[in-house]
Amino acid sequence: MYVWIWRHIPGGLPGKLIGSLVLFLGACALLLFIVFPRIQDKLPFNDVTIDRPSHSSSSPSPSPHP
pLDDT tens per residue across span 12-64: 999 999 999 999 999 999 999 999 999 988 887 776 777 777 665 555 556 66
Distance CA 48, CA 52 (A): 13
pLDDT of residue 3: 93
Residue 46 lies in a domain: no
User: Residue 26 belongs to what domain range?
Assistant: 2-40
Residue 48 lies in a domain: no
pLDDT of residue 43: 80
Query: pTM to 2 decimals?
Result: 0.62
Residue 11, helix vs strand vs coil: coil
Residue 49, helix vs strand vs coil: coil
Residue 36 lies in a domain: yes
Residue 7 lies in a domain: yes
Residue 12 lies in a domain: yes
Residue 34 lies in a domain: yes
Number of domains the chain is built from = 1
Distance CA 2, CA 13 (A): 15
Question: SS3 breakdown of the chain: % helix, strand, coil, rounded to 5?
Answer: 60, 0, 40
